Amino acid sequence: MPLWQADTKLKAIPFDTGATMTANTAIPTSETIEHALRSVVDPEVGINIVDLGLVYAIEQEHRQITVTMTMTTPACPLGSMLQDEALAAVESVLPADWQAMVNLVFEPEWTPLRMSEAARTQLGW
C-alpha cells in the first residue's frame, strides 16, 4: 500500500533515503512517519487514520515534515483533535531539530475508496 495516495492537487516530495533511524537522530523515512501516524486511531471505529484514507500527503522540505490530512466530513468536531494527535505522533519520531506541521483540508473530498484494503475488510466490504 503506498504511503500516500496519488492526487492531482497534492504531490509528495520524495524523501531522502538514508541511514536507519536510531533514537530520533537520523533522517526520518516515509515508513517511519506512516508508522507513527498509524498510532492515531478514530476512537469510534477503532481504525487508524492511514487505513481510513484520511492522510493525503506526507512531504519533506529541509528539516520539516508536512502532513496533509482530512476528515470524513467537515461537520465532525473531532478534526482538530485528530490533527493534534497526528502532530504529536509525527513529532515523536523526529530529530530534535526537525519540525512537523499537520494541515487539515477538506478538498479533495474524502471518499470511502480511499480506505485501505485492511480497513475495508474489517468493515465488511
Which residue type occupies 70? T
- From candidates 46, 62, 96, 97, binder to other proteins by CB under 8 A: 46
User: Are β-strands 99-104 and 55-61 bridged in parallel, bridged antiparallel, or unpaired?
Assistant: unpaired
Tell me: does residue 103 bind other proteins (CB under 8 A). yes
Residue 107 Rama label (left phi>0; alpha psi -120 to 50; beta): beta
Establish if 78 lies at the interface with other proteins (CB under 8 A): yes
Task: Select from 36, 83, 93, 114 the one that contacts other proteins (CB under 8 A).
Answer: 83
- C-beta of 99: minimal distance to other proteins in Å? 6
> Which position has the grid cell 484514507?
53
Is 93 a binder of other proteins (CB under 8 A)? Answer: no
In the complex, the smallest distance separating the C-beta of residue 25 from other proteins, rounded to whole angstroms, is 20
Residues 65 and 55: beta-carbon distance below 8 Å: no
**Residue number with CB closer to other proteins (32 or 83):** 83
Quickly tell me which residue has 485501505 as its cell. Answer: 116
